[in-house]
A = this chain, B = another copy of it.
Amino acid sequence: MPVHHNTKQKALILEVLDKNRNHVTAEDVITLLHSCGEKVGRATVYRYLRELEEAGRVRKYTLGEKNTAYYQYMGEEDGCHGHYHLMCDVCGKLEHLDRTVAESFAKSARESYGFIIDCSKTVFYGKCKDCAEN
């Protein structure tokens, strides 16, 4: 386990992620910080985003035909407490699906395949209600 220093840069990055809960790219983070007069190195942003993703605090994914990665802050709650994530790959909105709804499915997967689903890491992709109606 790495030692986590509390640095100004990490706090700034987290603040940007918290204020932009829908899909931001690494370059977005850099640009947003730069426009606030705060300069954080490109490598630091990429390194911290990766660290956050590996810790399960941020979700990394792609949208549309772009080859760039989008990042979404999942909040402090470690995720394994009661819900699956539903991510709209049109608008990037994240919804929560109560675990009880998915319980039977997880059970089927376990019984059929012996696969134990980790709900803190699983994200369902698709279209949210609003985007499906358009």
By a beta-carbon cutoff of 8 Å, the part of chain A in contact with chain B is: 53, 60-62, 65, 67, 69, 86, 88-89, 95, 97, 101-102, 104-105, 108-109, 112-118, 121-129, 132
Pick the residue among B62, B114, B126 that contacts A122 (CB under 8 A). Answer: B126
Find out whether the CB atom of A127 lies under 8 angstroms from the CB atom of B132.
no
8 interchain residue pairs of minimum CB distance: A114-B129, A105-B105, A121-B125, A118-B126, A117-B126, A116-B127, A86-B115, A122-B124
Q: A86-B117, A114-B128 are in contact. List 10 more A-B contacts (CB 8 A).
A: A61-B62, A89-B121, A97-B109, A97-B112, A101-B109, A104-B104, A105-B105, A113-B129, A115-B129, A116-B127
Q: Known: A105-B105, A109-B86. Contact between A122 and B125, CB under 8 A? A: yes
* Contact residue among B89, B112, B115, B129 (Cβ-Cβ distance under 8 Å from A127): B115
A65: B residues at CB distance < 8 A: 53, 60
Output the least CB separation between A79 and chain B (Å): 11
